[in-house]
Amino acid sequence: MSDIRTSFLGDKPIGRIGFGAMQLAGPGVFGPPRDPDAARAVLRRAIELGVDHIDTSQYYGPDVVNDLIRETLHPYPQQLKLVTKVGARRDDRGGWLPALEPHELRQGVEDNLRALRVERMDLVNLRVFGDGGAPGVPLPEQLGALQDLRDEGKLDLIGVSNVSLEGARRALELVELGEIQNGYSILDRSAEPLLDLCREHAVAFVPFFPLGSAFSGGPSKLAADPAIAAVAAKHGATPSQIALAWLLARYDRILLIPGTTSVAHLEENLAAGDVVLDDDDLAALADVQEAGDPLH
C-alpha cells in the first residue's frame, strides 16, 4: 500500500491531496473572482505547501481559472501536474452545455494548452453526459478523439468524470484510464460501486465534493454528526479533516482535490494528510448517516 501522502496517477508518483481550482472563478463558476489577489495567494500557497497537482478546466469561468493559474504560477514547478476537463461549454448566462463532438473535444484540449501555456496536459477528463454523452456522439468517438490527441503527444492520460458505472466499464474497454472522477464523500457514498471498479483495475479515483455538496449540507453537516465530531476531538482535528482522512483511508489510489478561495482553508485541507485513522475510528465513521441529497 502506498504512503498516506503519496500515490500514483497512471505510473507516476503523485501527492494524494492536490487542489481543485473550480472555486477560483466567480459565483456559479462564472466570471472573475470577487478577489483576484486572494485567488492568486491560494495558488501560490498551494505550491509552497507542496501541492503537485491542480485540477482545472477552460470552462471554469470560462477562461478565468486557467488564466489565473498561468499568470500566477507559470513557469510551473517541474513536479506540478495539470489536470483538466473537456466535454462542456458555457452559454452567455453561465449555463452548462455539452460540447462532445470530436472537434469540440479537440478544441477544448487545445484551448487548455494555449491558456495554461503548456505543450501537454498531464491528464484530460472527459465530462460525460449520461452513459453515452450527447445524442449522436457515441462514447467511442469521444474517447477516440482524446486517444488521437494522446497519440499526438498533447495529453498524457485520459480520465472520465461524472460517469455512470456502466459508462466507466465501457470506457475501460475503450482506452487506458488514468482516473475516474465522480462525486463521493462520507455523506454521499452512492459512487461506491465505481470505487470498487477503480480498485479492481488499479485506477485512481478522484472524488469531487469530498466534503459533501451544497445539496447535502457540506461542512455544516459534517460538524453536526456526533461520530465525526468525536473522532475529530480525539485527533485534535476539524470535522472536515476527518472527512478527508476517511476518504484517504478508503483506497490507496484515492486522490483529493478539495477547492477553496481561502489560504486558511487550504492549509486545513492539506493538514488532513497528517490524520491517520485507526480501526476504531473507521468503525465509528462507518455508521455516519449519509445525507439526503435531493439529486439522488
- Provide the annotated active-site residues: 60
Cross-strand bridge partners of residue 254: 205
Measure the CA–CA gap between 19 and 196, rounded to whole angstroms. Answer: 24
**Coil/strand/helix, residue 272:** helix
**Coil/strand/helix, residue 7:** strand
For residue 242, give the nearest of 234, 257, 231 by alpha carbon: 231
Furthest-apart CA pair in the chain: how many Å?
A: 54
Other Cβ atoms less than 10 A from the Cβ of 34: the count is 10
Q: Please identify which residue in the block is written with the cell numbers 476527518.
A: 242
Burial class of 102 by CB neighbour count within 10 A (0 to 12, 13 to 18, 19+): middle
Residue ranges of alpha helices (H) inside 8-57 are 36-48
- Positive or negative: CA dihedral 199, 60, 127, 81: negative
